[in-house]
Amino acid sequence: MEKSVVELFAGVGGFRLGLGQASEEFKFVWANQWEPSRKAQDAYECYISHFGNSDIHSNEDINKVDKNDIPQHSVLVGGFPCQDYSVARTGAQGIKGKKGVLWWDIYEILKAKTPPFVILENVDRLLKSPSSQRGKDFGVILGCFKELDYSVEWRVINAADYGFPQRRRRIFIFAYKNNTSYAKGLKEYNLNEIIEHTGFFQQGFPAEPISLELSNKSKSTFDFIFEDLIEVSDNFTLEFSNAGIMRGNEIHTQQLCASECYTVEQQTLKDILESNVDERYYLNGELDDWLYMKGPKRIERTNKNGHKYIFAEGGIAFPDPVDKPARTMLTSESSKNRSTHIIEDPLTGRKRKLTPIECERLNGFPDNWTNTGMSERFRYFCMGNALVVGLIEKMGITLSEIIDGETSSSSEKEDQLTAVS
């Protein structure tokens, strides 16, 4: 089986960079990146500056792309937005997803191209959305995969737990067709064994139950039987834990934490800092504003109905400690914002913001990866949206071995058929 890849919502190429670092055998056959409501397609321009201006690189709204025109591939990857995945019945048209929700483009590609393997990334709140029907959105996604004969494993991974210099927590979804050799090989294991021992994520991200005492309390096995996706959208609810698997008519989910036996050198914020930083990144005469934004607050407010209430929020360290992994970087990193990182420069002792290069390093991108003509503000924005490249590299190593196993199994079958004939 070829290691051919289609990348959706490609951004500045984090998936491609990570898989390429895992194996030179991954071949990207199509990629799509489109920024709605923006005339300047800066992320796409960054992508093609590194990977080439090619016919296989699409800068078109994915809603308008004919899914049948996308090349066949063995792996589909992408980081897609967390949206409302409700579905509705539309008379003669059958079941239809909410217009403009990008999950349904993934679903249409899965139906049209049936890739054997899928890796997707999202914010971890996907497991709990919407607040009015906890777990519904993720349940719809699982229902779509089940309908198309996939099994699905998921894990919420904090990059800092595995040595990376940022506490960036994201959910990763690994789906695989049930007719693959990989899926057949897992049939001898129960769902709990897959999550704790033999599954996809355990290979690169070893984890264990949060404690022996709480282990059984954190586990839930759920019969996942439904007539159609409407039933899931209207009625499904489940308290998903940070790890789990769906296989056939069962969902198993449980809470895991990074294994204490996993040893790796921990990178910190200090490890990625530049020296001789330009003066414009330093704070000058703004400390009172920053102290207020970062500090704890209890503020009386009045809503539109005249009801008074107390708005409260805890404090954030000011400056950010450099001897620990950084907090999660957001798209607002360039602005004067409560969530913006402010450090005390180890060389000068003065407080400053992070530079665009330091933000690239936090996500594992090469220096000046986004320095391709976009504004500095948008460089920060792209890194706030990006994933940690090293996580994808680790997943790519495991996936490459899985695909090699598919190829070996096919060769063995061919040899057996030749021997029989």
Over pLDDT 70: what percentage of the chain?
A: 94
Helix, strand, coil share (%) of the chain residues, nearest 5:
35, 20, 40
The stretch 97-119 carries a mean pLDDT of: 94
- Give the whole-angstrom CA distance, residue 195 versus residue 173: 13
pLDDT above 70 (res 415): no
The pair phi, psi for residue 198, each rounded to 5°, is: -105, -5
Q: Compute CA distances 127 → 5, 79, 123, 245, whole Å.
A: 26, 15, 9, 13
Burial of 104 (C-beta count, 10 Å sphere; 0-12/13-18/19+):
buried
CB atoms near residue 406 (< 10 Å): 18
Over pLDDT 90: what percentage of the chain?
A: 81
Output the average pLDDT for the chain.
93
Long-range contacts of 68-72 (CB under 8 A, 24+ apart): 68/112, 70/6, 70/30, 70/109, 70/112, 70/113, 71/4, 71/6, 71/29, 71/30, 72/4, 72/29, 72/113
- pLDDT for 91: 66
> Measuring CA to CA, which residue among 22, 19, 32 is closest to residue 67?
32
Q: Are 204 and 22 in contact (CB under 8 A)?
A: no
- pLDDT for 88: 85
pLDDT above 70 (res 138): yes
pLDDT above 70 (res 420): no
**pLDDT confidence tier of residue 46, bands split at 50, 70 and 90:** very high
Q: Are 76 and 116 in contact (CB under 8 A)?
A: no
> Measuring CA to CA, which residue among 97, 100, 80, 99 is closest to residue 33?
80
- pLDDT for 407: 79
Q: Name the token pair of 105.
A: 């483009």
Least confident of 126-130, 266-270, 412-416: 412-416
Q: Name the token pair of 184.
A: 């057949």
pLDDT above 60 (res 417): no
Parallel/antiparallel/unpaired status of strands 75-79 and 4-8: parallel
Q: Measured in whole angstroms, how far is the alpha carbon of residue 81 from the centre of its chain? A: 10
| DSSP code for 327 | P
Least confident of 2-16, 64-78, 264-278, 303-317: 303-317
| Dihedral angle, C-alpha 139, 252, 132, 387, nearest 10 ° | -70
Homologous superfamily of 4-262+388-416: Vaccinia Virus protein VP39 (3.40.50.150)
- Give the whole-angstrom CA distance, residue 89 versus residue 312: 42
- pLDDT for 414: 57
3-state secondary structure of 82: coil
**pLDDT confidence tier of residue 136, bands split at 50, 70 and 90:** very high
**pLDDT confidence tier of residue 44, bands split at 50, 70 and 90:** very high
The pair phi, psi for residue 38, each rounded to 5°, is: -130, 125
CATH 3.40.50.150 residue spans of the chain: 4-262+388-416
**pLDDT confidence tier of residue 94, bands split at 50, 70 and 90:** confident
What pLDDT digit, counting tens, does each position of 338-396 carry? 999 999 999 999 999 999 999 999 999 999 999 999 999 999 999 999 999 999 999 99
Query: How many residues in total does the chain contain?
Result: 421
What pLDDT digit, counting tens, does each position of 183-215 carry? 999 999 999 999 999 999 999 999 999 865 555
Helix boundaries (H) for 317-388:
356-362, 376-385
B/e letters for 213-240, b = 16+ CB within 10 Å, e = fewer, are eebeebbeebebebeebbebbeebebeb
Written as one letter, the residue type at 252 is H
| Dihedral angle, C-alpha 42, 45, 47, 50, nearest 10 ° | -130
CB atoms near residue 51 (< 10 Å): 18
pLDDT above 60 (res 157): yes
- pLDDT for 260: 81
The stretch 103-125 carries a mean pLDDT of: 97
Catalytic residues: 82
Q: Is the pTM of this model over 0.85?
A: yes
Least confident of 24-28, 86-90, 127-131, 153-157: 86-90
Hunting for tokens 């899985």 — which residue is that? 402
> Measuring CA to CA, which residue among 110, 101, 107, 42 is closest to residue 75?
110
3-state secondary structure of 310: strand
The stretch 74-98 carries a mean pLDDT of: 85
What pLDDT digit, counting tens, does each position of 212-257 carry? 555 566 688 999 999 899 999 999 999 999 999 999 999 999 999 9
